[in-house]
Every structure is written in structure tokens, then in C-alpha cells.
Structure 1
């Protein structure tokens, strides 16, 4: 099925035209996966969602919102940045699942594999017992999804911190100018993406979040962000430490 999304018809406004996203469901090219191809601007991206075969009957990857939400956030990433791409996508899917001010653990892909454990190694959680991943964990990981879990869990904790500071609203998808935590989070999420360099890593992604907060909120959330990053080993100078700026 198609999912039309057109960019500006004028290059001066930021992109080439007629490059709507296309999508297919129960795609026969594979099983137990989903993917998103991202060609250059002006060419359509394409999402494929496959059947998952760990249960009988097979389960459709289009029927669990985690899957299309994740794939819709995909862009072109490589190496450690490949892990970053997977993590941003998981974090977006996590955000779409929130229906109240509560920040429960988030488990990806429970339906598609018919398992409460889901498709990641840990739930995304504010508990370091439930999810012990930190920046130091990246050095032991070599698969993009596993690397991605580290940053996605950190963003889960950023979300929780912003909800704790500014509260939650059910109109976050229709009121982008709101000042509550779930709206602030998504504003910073989107704003930080283009502030990263090509092939970003954890450090440049952190810097992008901090700069996004300066740009939109005059640095109001600076210390909150630093404390959350540092709690997962991305402190000042990011030497796997929990150091925060002296004025925080």
C-alpha cells in the first residue's frame, strides 16, 4: 500500500518533489524482518514489512505499530551510526506507545514474534536493573540493533526526565507548541536530527540534543539533559563517566 508524503516543489524550500514514500505489506522478498530503503532526495523511499514465522499462523509485521513507526524513522546510517539509526527509530516507536504520564518499560516487537520478551535484548527502562546498558556497553557490541539499544534506552530516560519536569499531555500529536514534557521531548528529538554531522555517533548526538535545547528553549533543559546523559556514561568529555558541568 502507498503512504504518500511529498516534499516542497521548490528546491529553495528544502527538497526535490514527487518523492513520496511507498510501502508494502506481507512482502514476499523476505521474512522475520522489515526494512526501509532511503535513496537520494527526489527518489521515493520504500518500506517493506514481512511476515514473521515464529508462530502459526504467521504474524504480519504491519499489524504491530512498533514496526512501521520504527521503519518510518529510518534514514541512511553506517557503522556505529547504523546503530544510531536503529536507536532513533526505536525511540520514536517508544514515544508513539505512550498514552499517559506513566513511563513504563517499553518492549519492542512482542506481537510479531509472539513473545513477551520482544525482539531486543532488554526492555527500554528507567531501571538500571531492568536495562543495564550504558555508553561503556558499546565497546562490547558489534550488531547495529544491539548498539542502537544503548542510545534508545538513553532517550527513554531523557523522555522520563522531561515528563518528570514538565508533565504530560494527550494532545502531543496535534499541539506541537505545547510546553509539556512529551511535546518538549519530540521537539528536541526532531530538532536534533539535522544538527548532527554525517555519520553521527553518541557524542555528536548528545551535542545535537544540547544545541537543539539552546536553539528552541534557550538551554532551559541543559542540566536535565546532562544529568541524564551522564547517568548512562555520557558525562563531560564522554570518557564513560558520570561527570556533569560544574554549574549543574
Structure 2
């Protein structure tokens, strides 16, 4: 894992002193090793590499939650000494605060920018699960709970092992849906679909063209 000094301030600030950056980098180790059976070579396309950045931001956000409130999350405020952080938008359930959608990827070709789209989708998935199932203050030590933040983390990890090498937004979404079937019997299906569809990754989304459609019954 490589950590760096950030040069935007004087004196320079050490990324190792900001928890969300440390968690972001550790999560690269998880996603690279679990996707594609441990090869460490299955997040190589621009889209998959971008999603790798997104998972890392999303997991950093998960570790920062201290209550059931799903506030906007800003990455990297300390290292650049700015409330705006290092991303283009805060992660938010508000489309005004963060307008990024599946179709936004069409105009992007840099992995961190693509990652923002995926991380914001997962921010919305997290918010939906917590709204539906509640929040546990002991999620880090009691993985057997049924609260939304615990469910989110299980599905986050389970889906990595189910998705193909070099996943796309669509195949990664499908892995989340399948992970819920495998672990929870699919009880969160509609919650997941509605969250993904709210940002354009509904049924029929393809080629970075949005779809807000959810399955029949949802």
C-alpha cells in the first residue's frame, strides 16, 4: 500500500494521518483480491478501475458513520485543507448536491472521476438500506445483525466474489442483487433496485444510457 505526502498545503500533509484515505487504500487490497478469484488483475479496464476507486470511497464513508443519519460525505478534507475535499462533489442522496448518474460515465475517462459515480450510487444504496432496516452502532463487532449498515457491508463484500473479472457497473449491480439472494433470500431486492435505478442503473441500463426502471413488483 502506497501512502504519500500531499503537496497542496504548506507544510505538506501526510495522507496516513487521514482515516478515510487510509481506509480507501486498504480497500483497494480487498477489491483487487476478491474480484476474479484472487488474481489481483481483474480491475484493469478503465471502467473496472474506476469502480475500484468508488468501492474504496464507499467503504471509507461506511467507516465514518456514527449514527443512523446519512449525511453527505466528503473525501480528503484534511490532506488539502479544504471543506470541499478531493472529489468533484460530496457523496449525497440529493441529486442537487451530487448529480452524477450512470450516464455521467459516458463523458469520463479517468478512474477517480468514474469512481465518484459508483461511490455515489453505493452511498444511495447505503441510505436506502439504513432507511429500510435501521442502523447498528455495533456493526464493526457484531456482523450477525440485520440492520441496514450491516447488510450493506455483507453485500459489499459478497458481491466482489460474485462479479466477473473486469466488472462493469451493470455486472457489479447484478452481483449485489445476487449477493442479496444468496445471503438474505432476496428480501432487499426492491430496496437495492430502487436505489440503483434512482441514479440511472435500473433494468435496461446499458452502454452508459440511463434506465430508471425497476423489476415488476418493485
TM-score, structure 1 length as denominator?
0.80
Q: Tell me, yes or no, if structure 1 residue 48 matches structure 2 residue 2.
A: yes
Paired with 1:143 and 1:56, the residues of 2 have a C-alpha distance of: 27
Per-residue CA distance 1:10-30 (angstroms, 9 max, x = gap): xxxxxxxxxxxxxxxxxxxxx
Count of matched residue pairs? 202
* Counterpart mapping for 1:111-150 below 5 A: 111-150=78-117
Structure 2 residue ranges without an equivalent (≥5): 33-39
RMSD, aligned α-carbons: 0.8
| TM-aligned CA deviation for residue 169 of structure 1 | 1.1
Residue 209 of structure 1, aligned match among 176, 196, 206? 176
SS of 1:116's equivalent in the other structure is coil
Q: Tell me, yes or no, if structure 1 residue 58 matches structure 2 residue 12.
A: yes
Per-residue CA distance 1:177-221 (angstroms, 9 max, x = gap): 111111010011011011010000100000000000000000000
Paired with 1:211 and 1:243, the residues of 2 have a C-alpha distance of: 18
Matched with 1:178 is 145
| TM-aligned CA deviation for residue 235 of structure 1 | 1.0
Instruction: Report runs of 4+ in structure 1 exceeding 6 Å deviation.
Output: none
Paired with 2:131 and 2:178, the residues of 1 have a C-alpha distance of: 21
Matched with 2:126 is 159
Q: Point out the structure with the larger helix share.
A: 2
Q: Point out the structure with the larger strand share.
A: 1
Residue 87 of structure 1, aligned match among 50, 54, 77? 54
Q: Bigger relative contact order, structure 1 or 2, given CA contacts below 8 A and separation 6+?
A: 2
Larger radius of gyration: 1
Structure 1 residue ranges without an equivalent (≥5): 1-46
